[in-house]
Every structure is written in structure tokens, then in C-alpha cells.
Amino acid sequence: MEINSQVFGQIDGQQVLEYSLTNDSGMTVSFLNFGCVITKVLVPDRQGNVENVVLGFDNLDDYLKWSPYFGAVVGRVAGRIQGASFELDGKEYHLTVNEGTNQLHGGNKGFNSVIWQAEPIEEEEAAGVKFFYRSVDGEEGYPGNLETIVTYLLTNENELKISYEARTDQPTLVNLTNHSYFNLSGHNKRDVSEHNLKLDNDRFVELGPDLIPTGTLLETSGTPFDFRGGRQIKDGIESVHPQNLLAGNGYDHPLVFSKQGENKILLSEAESGRALEVTTDQPCVVVYTTNQLEGPFTISGVPAKKYLGICLETQGLPDAIHHSEFPSVVLKPEEVYRQLTAFRFFVQS
């Protein structure tokens, strides 16, 4: 196992470093201490061609100017909070607004846009980096000083494990995830419309016009949101289901796992042979098929366009604070927030 680092740029006089982990099989994962952004995941296809399978930029300026959360850890709360406000223990909190009248992914200074302290770590058959960030009381409107640790660990089994831990000194909200955009074709040669996605989900969260959950869980049977038997992403892109149309012709929905505890997601692309198995302890995965991706910029030389990547955001249900029937995302001082999601890359025959 190897751990290397290099200067990627500077923000307000602080160095942004890019760390690269390479395992004994030759898989490499690179990421920044800025937003814990994963910049590259280099894995082989069935012909042995090693290519990047996540969307990212080659320089810091592009991340600062264009990035729609590419590869970042988002928080304190992933997803949208309706009205950028909530009530907790009888007190009303008003958050920063950064999308319409709502807050998205933690606000203007979310976890994706701060520099984290970093500490390289080595274990038997694995190596990684542990990131630390202290979000102060009142930051982006949230109560409590929140101490957060995110650990990226690469194993010799081509598995990237991401673990999260957080503690607070006041009741607050916490719902973290990683926002990587995957494209298993390698170097964005093709879009993700023919990627196949499989997971055990019998329900999905209905969204309103502003993509905020209505609170209703819809049955997936007989819809393009049923991934239990596996289906291609283009099923949702071409669908006339009202929820697919609402999201901009595709997916931007929380898919709720059928059972609690450990669940698996399988993403694969037949032409390259690459496959990604995601294992998580979270109750849902937000699947976003870059229906809104556009702009005057390129990603590894490829113009930004719809369906160039797919996000698998394992997390608690979005806007849970406004829906008592959803699992709570409230963290209290006597509790510890913990989450674990692992990404294992392999080649199918």
C-alpha cells in the first residue's frame, strides 16, 4: 500500500492537498482535504485498461467555480430542507438559503466547501486518511458545535470504506453522505444510460415540485423505481412516470431499502465489464442521474452534459426533520452519529 500527497492549490492562504492511495492490486483513489472531495478512482476494465470512474476536475479553480458537489462529503445535512428552517425542542432555527427558498446540502458553507484537517493512517492490508472538521455553533444556522470525523480507507480487496462519526454539545441535525458521480465506462467515454442498477427497494420517496419529499412513500412495483431485479438507467430517462418527469427525465429520488441493517447496491456497465458493489448501513440511497448537469465546462475533456454520471448517496431520508414518520436525523449530546458505506470495484466476466 502507498500513500502520497501533493499540493493541489490554495484557498485563503491554506494549502489544499491531494492524497493518493494505491493498493497492492494497483487501484488508486485520490481525494482532497478540501471537502473530502474524491477526485479520481482508477480501476481496470475487463481488458486491463485502468481509467478514472468518477467525475472530477484536474484543478482547484474548476472545483471552486463549477463543481456540483463532485466527490464531496456533504453536510451537516445532505439533501434539501424545506423552507431552510426547522423546529427542534421548541425552538425555531433559520438556516442559510442556497436553493430557491430551501437549503441544499448544508448551505453556502457546507462540509463540501471547507478545508479539513487530515491524518494519514495505515492498517494491515489497508491505508487511508482520517479527516477532522469542527462545525461551530450557528454555522449555516445549525445549533451546537459539531465535531466530525470522516475516514477514507482503501483495502487490498479494491474496496474504499468511508466511515463517518460526529458528536455535538447541543441537539442538532446530522445526515452525511459522499456525493461522488460514478461513470464505469472510464474517462467518461459513454454516458450512464446503459449502466445497470440493482438494489432491494420496495418503496421510494415521492417528491414535490421543488424536489422536497412530500412525506409519502410510494410502492415501487410496476414502476421504473423498482430495482430489485436490476434495470438500466435509461428506463427512468425514457419514462413518462410523473416522478421521472418531475426530476428532469431521470432519477433524483431517495430509494428506501426493503430491510433495515446492511444493504447492498450493484452498479455495472456491460461494455467495460466494470462493476461497483456498495454496502451501507443507511436506510436509503438517493439516486441522482445528473439530469441537471450542464454548463460551459468540461470534465476530463468531456463537455458537461446530462446523464454523464450517477450518484449513489447513501444516507438518512432527506428533510426528515419535517416528517416524523421518517427515521430521525436529530443528534443529541449523549449520542454518537456513525455511518459506514463501502465501495468495492471489480470486473464481471
* HSE-up (13 A, CA, CB side) for residue 273: 12
Query: Among 104, 180, 169, 177, which residue's Cα sits nearest to residue 140?
Result: 104
* HSE-up (13 A, CA, CB side) for residue 280: 28
Q: Is 206 a catalytic site residue?
A: no
Query: Among 150, 5, 6, which residue's Cα sits nearest to residue 76?
Result: 150
Query: Among 103, 287, 304, 97, which residue's Cα sits nearest to residue 179?
Result: 287
CA 122 from chain centre, in angstroms, equals 24
Catalytic residue among 105, 179, 253, 323: 179
Helix (H, G, I), strand (E, B), or coil: what is residue 245?
Answer: helix
Catalytic residue among 195, 269, 313, 323: 313
Q: Are 276 and 182 in contact (CB under 8 A)?
A: yes
CA distance 17 to 37: 11
Helix (H, G, I), strand (E, B), or coil: what is residue 216?
Answer: strand
Q: Catalogue the E-assigned strands of 304-336.
A: 310-315, 330-331
- Dihedrals φ, ψ of 112, to 5°? -70, -15
Q: Is 241 a catalytic site residue?
A: no
Query: How far is CA 143 from each of CA 116, 140, 146, 205, rounded to the nearest angstrom?
Result: 20, 9, 9, 27
**Residue partners of 2: CB distance under 8 A and separation at least 6:** 20, 21, 22, 127
CA distance 262 to 341: 9
Give catalytic residues, as residue numbers: 179, 313
